[in-house]
């Protein structure tokens, strides 16, 4: 029998709050974090709504105790990772092998764009401090330094499945005895490069996104960070803490159908979900809730819904997309949604899928539209699907 991997703590920062309790309160009150751009400088400021964290870089520096000159990505990462780490930091044993596995798609790009704006005007212009933290691993290294983690540090970048893959890798490393404790998740900050890229793909909605609705017309970009504390059985016993739940299944599949679009038959999504169920030794009817990838684009929701119909048929579990609150946080989305999945399981919560009115024609799938508490849930599935058909599903189960 495989060794269990436990979840000992969580942390997150997003457009709906600077901590886990703030995020849950916003969801309970039905308050979406999507709105007009405030911090991101863009020619599309009055065109596309986004889901920004409601703190400036200066505010984030004060909040985290980090220098204001580092990237917004790193500041967000430190905020979420610190919240998660605090739950077990005082219980860490010196013999524990502790790792940080973080994910991102933008790295320090939020600062780099400021450099090139000045550099293109004058090649002696631009401040080099705005490019020194550019590469993807930089936010991870800054977070690791803040937390004092040195045993194992790595960065994963697989588009919108990045955070889910970092959590999956952490779980595998713990099962194989390579780590005792892992802080895993991811972070992305909004950048003009990302916004312009998604606009070129014509998948941004000028209105607030409507995941799984027949009238859906695109996604709203967001930013944030989220991390989970994963523990081995021996680490959990040594610490003597009550776990939130365990991660019981995971699977990654790449359908390679298209550079950016999901396969219309949902093959990658289907393989990922089936693989996670198989890993956890569960049947489709065991799943009590699915936090769907649910971006609100025409292609993604059709593809994911098709895959869900193939697996669950007419016995569809409750499901919803939390991106209707947080926007699509890209590399951080798998982390945010994993945290929310853990909390749904721990507290018996079902999250509403905001702005839903009409099922997708031909699928007829109806997500949950009201916040619910006290629901008996034993197993929660969390989906994260990225460009290139890189699809990952995580499965969390009660103790």
Q: Picking from 103-112, 121-130, 191-200, 299-308, which range would have the lowest pLDDT averaged per residue? A: 121-130
Q: 294 with 321: CB under 8 angstroms? A: yes
Say if 6-239 and 245-397 have the same CATH topology: yes
pLDDT class of 69 with cuts at 50, 70, 90: confident
Residue (of 200, 391, 153, 216) closest to 293 by Cα position: 391
Three-state secondary structure call for residue 282? coil
Average pLDDT over residues 295-314: 96
HSE-up (13 A, CA, CB side) for residue 114: 17
- What's the pLDDT score for residue 1? 63
pLDDT, residue 396, reads 98
**Whole-number pLDDT of residue 134:** 87
Q: Residues 71-125: pLDDT tens digits?
A: 999 999 999 999 999 999 999 988 999 999 999 999 998 888 877 777 888 887 7
- pLDDT at position 264 is 84
Q: Residue 255 — very low, low, confident or very high, per pLDDT cuts 50/70/90?
A: confident
How far apart (Å, rounded) are the C-alpha atoms in residues 136 and 155?
7
Note whether 369 and 259 are within 8 A (CB): no
The ranges assigned to domains in the chain are: 6-239, 245-397
Lowest mean pLDDT among 34-38, 96-100, 253-257, 382-386: 253-257
Q: Report the C-alpha gap between 71 and 109 in whole angstroms.
A: 8
pLDDT at 317 > cutoff 80 = yes
| Whole-number pLDDT of residue 229 | 98
Q: What is the secondary structure of 340-378 as a DSSP string? A: HHHHHHHHT-B---TT--SPPTTT------S-B-S---S
Q: Which of 5-19, 108-122, 131-145, 180-194 has the lowest mean pLDDT?
A: 108-122
| Verdict on whether the full-model pTM lies above 0.95 | yes
Q: Which of 251, 395, 370 is nearest to 320 (CA)?
A: 370
CA distance linking residue 381 with residue 393, whole number of Å: 7
State the pLDDT at residue 328: 98
CB 84 within 8 A of CB 11: yes
Range with lowest mean pLDDT among 34-38, 113-117, 315-319: 113-117
Separation between Cα atoms, residue 355 and residue 9, nearest integer Å: 31
Give the tens place of pLDDT for each residue, 123-177: 877 777 778 888 889 999 999 999 999 999 999 999 999 999 999 999 999 999 9
Q: Which of 137, 116, 104, 107 is nearest to 41 (CA)?
A: 116
State which CATH number among 3.40.47.10, 3.40.50.720, 3.30.565.10, 3.90.870.40 fits the domain covering 245-397. Answer: 3.40.47.10
Give the domain 6-239 fold. Peroxisomal Thiolase; Chain A, domain 1 (3.40.47)
337 neighbors 322 (Cβ within 8 angstroms)? yes
- Residue 389 is predicted with a pLDDT of 84
What pLDDT, on a 0 to 100 scale, did the predictor assign at position 143?
98
Number of residues that make up the chain: 399
| E strands present in 21-168 | 98-103, 152-156
Average pLDDT over residues 381-393: 93
Nearest of 370, 337, 342 to residue 356 by alpha carbon: 370
Q: Where does residue 17 fall: left (phi above 0), alpha (psi -120 to 50 degrees), or beta otherwise?
A: left
List the strands of the sheet with 390-397, edge to edge.
152-156, 98-103, 181-188, 224-231, 6-13, 245-254, 390-397, 379-386, 289-291, 318-320
Q: What is the C-alpha separation between 242 and 224, in angstroms, rounded?
A: 27
| Separation of alpha carbons 61 and 68, rounded Å | 5
Averaged pLDDT of the chain: 95
Q: pLDDT tier at 207 (50, 70, 90 boundaries)?
A: very high
Backbone angles phi, psi at 145, to 5 degrees: -65, -45
- What would the mean pLDDT of 342-350 be, rounded to a whole number? 98
Tell me what percent of the residues of the chain surpass a pLDDT of 70: 100
User: Which sequence positions are flagged as catalytic?
Assistant: 160, 293, 328
For strand 379-386 and strand 318-320, is the pairing parallel, antiparallel, or unpaired? unpaired
């Amino acid at each position: 029998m495989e060794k269990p991997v436990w979840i000992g703590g969580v942390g997150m920062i997003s457009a709906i709050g600077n901590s886990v309790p703030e995020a849950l309160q916003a969801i309970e009150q039905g308050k979406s974090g999507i709105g007009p751009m405030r911090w991101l400088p863009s020619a599309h400021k009055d065109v596309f709504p986004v889901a920004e964290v409601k703190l400036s870089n200066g505010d984030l520096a004060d909040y985290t105790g980090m220098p204001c000159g580092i990237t917004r990505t790193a500041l967000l990462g430190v905020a979420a990772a610190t919240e998660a780490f605090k739950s077990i930091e005082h219980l860490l044993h010196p013999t524990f092998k502790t790792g940080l596995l973080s994910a991102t798609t933008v790295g320090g790009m939020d600062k780099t764009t400021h450099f090139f704006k000045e550099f293109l005007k004058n090649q002696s212009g631009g401040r080099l401090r705005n490019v020194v933290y550019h590469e993807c691993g930089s936010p991870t290294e800054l977070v690791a330094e803040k937390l004092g983690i040195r045993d194992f540090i790595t960065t994963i970048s697989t588009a919108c499945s990045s955070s889910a893959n970092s959590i999956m890798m952490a779980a595998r490393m713990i099962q194989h005895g390579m780590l005792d404790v892992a802080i895993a998740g991811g972070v992305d900050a909004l950048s003009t490069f990302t916004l312009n890229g998604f606009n070129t793909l014509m998948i941004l909605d000028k209105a607030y996104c409507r995941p799984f609705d027949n009238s859906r017309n695109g996604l709203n970009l967001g930013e944030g960070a989220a991390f989970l504390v994963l523990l081995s059985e021996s680490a959990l016993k040594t610490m003597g803490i009550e776990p939130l739940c365990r991660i019981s299944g995971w699977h990654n599949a790449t359908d390679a159908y298209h550079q950016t679009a999901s396969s219309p038959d949902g093959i990658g999504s289907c393989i990922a979900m089936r693989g996670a169920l198989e890993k956890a030794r569960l049947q489709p009817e065991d799943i009590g809730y699915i936090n769907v990838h649910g971006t609100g684009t025409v292609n993604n929701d059709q593809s994911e819904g098709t895959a869900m119909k193939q697996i669950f048929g007419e016995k569809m579990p409750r499901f919803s997309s939390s991106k209707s609150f947080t926007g699509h946080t890209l590399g951080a989305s798998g982390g945010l949604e994993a945290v929310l999945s853990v909390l749904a399981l721990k507290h018996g919560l079902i999250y509403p899928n905001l702005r839903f009115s009409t099922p997708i024609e031909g699928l007829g799938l109806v997500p949950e539209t009201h916040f619910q508490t006290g629901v008996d849930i034993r197993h929660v599935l969390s989906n994260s699907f990225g460009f290139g058909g890189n699809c990952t599903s995580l499965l969390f189960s009660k103790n």
